[in-house]
Amino acid sequence: MVVNSLDRIVTGYFPEIQARLTVANVTDTARTLERNHLCGPTAGLIQAEMVGGAALLGTLLERENQAISLRMLFPEGSLGGATIECTAGFTIRGYTRQKVLGDLDDSNCSDEELFTRALGPAAQCGVVITEGTSASNTLFNVVVEKCVSVTDIIEAYFCKSLQRTALVQVSGATQNGYVSCVHAMMCELLPEADADAFVRTRNLFDSPEVLRLLDDGASLETIAAALGLGHAEDVQERTVSFACSCSSERVINMLSSLPKEDLEAMIAEGRPHDIYCHMCGKGFTITLEQLKALL
């Protein structure tokens, strides 16, 4: 299942200070996942920002058959955990463990407090890169003083696990309980960049002006000008969209691997069964005739 999207991720190289800037708009993709999973306002917003983070992780992929998954557990947060996957073609899917957080969804607290209670102060994370049947796995933890954010998680992976000098910012917003916009950006200082360039860029990166530009969905060139990066070279733009490889055939193949006793128990109930893809929320109805055929 693929959904058409206006989302984009744009990356440019800035030779003047030896930096690479990436800017992503993933609003349509985040809205699709929110709708498919019937998320409440809190889970929908957090999942939306995770989609932005996954798009930034997708820039690490080099071959067409690769995909990268970010798997997170929040031991002290009510959200529980989440998994988001991005392919080399920048198709994204994923889910949160809890979809509806009643006490938070019905509250009037700020987004900062929502994240504090939903995620907690720590996250146990794993990044899995798959290529065909092979997979490489990296585990890392994020612990902060107050609460974890998606920005913290993505930046920790680039800076601590990959040992790359990267600045990350992910920003999402809701309106009337639904995702209204999601943007993400990352500025990576290459090894040739000097220390002064990093300090200048870091000081501007979290400035109110740059954050406002990000929230407004400003272009790569506009944000680069605000950061003082100079002229961009080798600008690359890619479409980002929601897509999932689930299908009725895959569901049938999955059921065919069940023990005979389990299939007989399902048939004995005398009704069709609905099977849902946990990565995208799509449902598939399996009839009694299909179940009997598997025997």
Length of the chain measured in residues: 295
How far, CA to CA in Å, does 100 sit from each of 47, 80, 117, 191, 243? 12, 11, 13, 44, 23
Query: Do the domains at 8-242 and 248-294 have one common CATH topology?
Result: no
Predicted confidence at residue 256, as pLDDT, reads: 86
Side-chain-side CA neighbours of 59 within 13 Å: the count stands at 24
Q: What is the CATH architecture assignment of 8-242? A: 3-Layer(bab) Sandwich (3.55)
Cα of 131 vs its chain's centroid, Å: 19
Q: What is the CATH architecture assignment of 248-294? A: Alpha-Beta Complex (3.90)
The encoded tokens of residue 219 equal: 């272009």
- Report the relative pairing of strands 81-87 and 165-175 from DSSP bridges: unpaired
Predicted confidence at residue 3, as pLDDT, reads: 53
Burial class of residue 280, CB neighbours in 10 A (0-12, 13-18, 19+) = buried
pLDDT digits 0-9 by tens, 184-224: 999 999 988 888 888 889 999 999 999 999 999 999 999 99
Question: pLDDT category, 247, cuts 50, 70, 90?
Answer: confident
On whether the pTM is more than 0.85, the answer is yes
d(CA 75, CA 72): 10
E strands in the chain: 8-14, 19-25, 66-73, 81-87, 91-96, 122-131, 134-143, 165-175, 178-189, 233-239, 241-242, 273-276, 283-286
Q: Is 158 helix (H, G, I), strand (E, B) or coil?
A: helix
Predicted confidence at residue 220, as pLDDT, reads: 96
How far, CA to CA in Å, does 167 sit from each of 3, 80, 81? 30, 26, 24
Could you state, in order of their start, the residue ranges of all structural domains in the chain? 8-242, 248-294
Biggest CA pair distance of the chain? 71
Mean pLDDT of 109-130: 91
